[in-house]
């Protein structure tokens, strides 16, 4: 939530609805994984071999990649290469969409036993390309773009919540929350805000807009990631408590945003979401019958 918003005004219910929609969408994808009984881990350094140390190393690696990516965006904006940035985003979103839809499409094939799984995956690839175009190549106020962004954010969050093991997921969320705070204060996000101050639509493809509220793609993805992390590793009680924590943290962040004009969107929701997840673990210990 790092866009430069000179005046913070209402429509809180709409933007909160967008947030809940994205987390619900991610949750359904997580449930697909549970039903299929299939789960593929894709952490760079396997936790099964190196344990929690692998989680720390993986989290550091992802944060470094996020820093490099943000720095590239800063450089492209600084030298007036917005069109190049737009095409890079288009390629990135298309690739991510193909990977995500192929993964969950394969699980659908397992569950529903489609006769022609290749056809199903090809349809998914076409959908990914169409979605990528819809929110990279159209105006930021377009509902199609916003809807596609919510779909992609949900998919990215669900995918990360499924393919990353627990230690990597939790430490990645913590690491990104810390990085988000720093980046908004004086890092790449602060510089991006300054470079787009005259034209916020330069990065329209990375945020869902509702009146004067904005949710960044990263916020959508990582809120969904925490929700799915709870569902596939612990259970629905844990997920519900995590969602309550995320929403409470999001509302607190919005309140602070009204006073400060710019706020990191991850630290408070991630902290309260993990607190809710921890509370779910404690409750499950004393009440093992909870779902």
User: 209 to each of 16, 18, 90, 93, 123, how far by Cα in Å?
Assistant: 11, 10, 19, 18, 28
For residue range 187-239, list pLDDT tens digits in order: 776 676 666 665 555 555 455 545 555 677 788 889 999 999 999 999 889 99
The ranges assigned to domains in the chain are 12-286
Q: Profile the chain (291 residues) by mean pLDDT over runs of 10 residues.
A: 33 74 85 80 84 89 88 82 79 82 74 61 64 55 66 87 92 92 77 62 51 70 93 92 94 80 82 94 82 70
Supply the pLDDT for residue 274.
95
For residue range 238-261, list pLDDT tens digits in order: 999 999 999 999 888 888 877 766
Supply the pLDDT for residue 117.
62
Supply the pLDDT for residue 126.
64
Q: What is the pTM of this model?
A: 0.80
Supply the pLDDT for residue 1.
37
Structure tokens at 4: 């430069």
Please say whether the beta carbons of 162 and 37 come within 8 A. Answer: no
Within 8 A by CB and 6+ apart from 140, the residues are 200, 201, 204, 205, 207, 209
Structure tokens at 141: 């106020």
Helix H segments across 137-205?
143-163, 166-186, 188-195
Supply the pLDDT for residue 28.
85
């Amino acid at each position: 939530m790092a866009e430069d918003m000179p005046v913070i005004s209402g429509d809180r219910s709409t933007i909160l609805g967008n947030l809940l929609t994205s987390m619900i969408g991610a949750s359904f994808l997580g449930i697909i994984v549970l039903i299929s009984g299939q789960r593929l881990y894709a952490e760079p350094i396997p936790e099964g071999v190196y344990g929690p140390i692998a989680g720390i190393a993986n989290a550091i690696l992802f944060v470094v990649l996020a820093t490099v990516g943000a720095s590239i965006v800063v450089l492209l904006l600084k030298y007036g290469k917005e069109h190049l940035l737009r095409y890079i985003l288009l390629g990135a979103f298309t690739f991510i969409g193909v990977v995500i839809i192929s993964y969950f499409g394969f699980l659908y094939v397992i569950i529903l036993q489609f006769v022609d799984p290749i056809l199903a995956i090809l349809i998914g690839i076409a959908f990914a390309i169409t979605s990528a175009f819809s929110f990279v190549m159209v105006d930021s106020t377009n509902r199609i773009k916003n809807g596609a962004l919510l779909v992609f954010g949900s998919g990215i969050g669900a995918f990360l919540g499924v393919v990353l093991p627990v230690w990597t997921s939790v430490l990645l969320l913590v690491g990104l929350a810390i990085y988000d705070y720093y980046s908004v204060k004086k890092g790449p996000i602060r510089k991006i805000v300054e470079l787009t101050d005259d034209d916020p639509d330069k990065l329209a493809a990375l945020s869902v807009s509702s009146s004067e509220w904005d949710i960044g793609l990263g916020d959508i993805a990582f809120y969904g990631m925490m929700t799915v992390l709870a569902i596939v590793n612990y259970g629905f009680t844990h997920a519900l408590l995590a969602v309550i924590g995320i929403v409470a943290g999001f509302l607190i962040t919005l309140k602070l945003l009204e006073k400060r004009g710019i706020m990191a969107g991850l630290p408070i929701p991630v902290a309260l979401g993990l607190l809710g997840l921890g509370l779910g673990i404690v409750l499950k210990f004393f009440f093992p019958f909870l779902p």
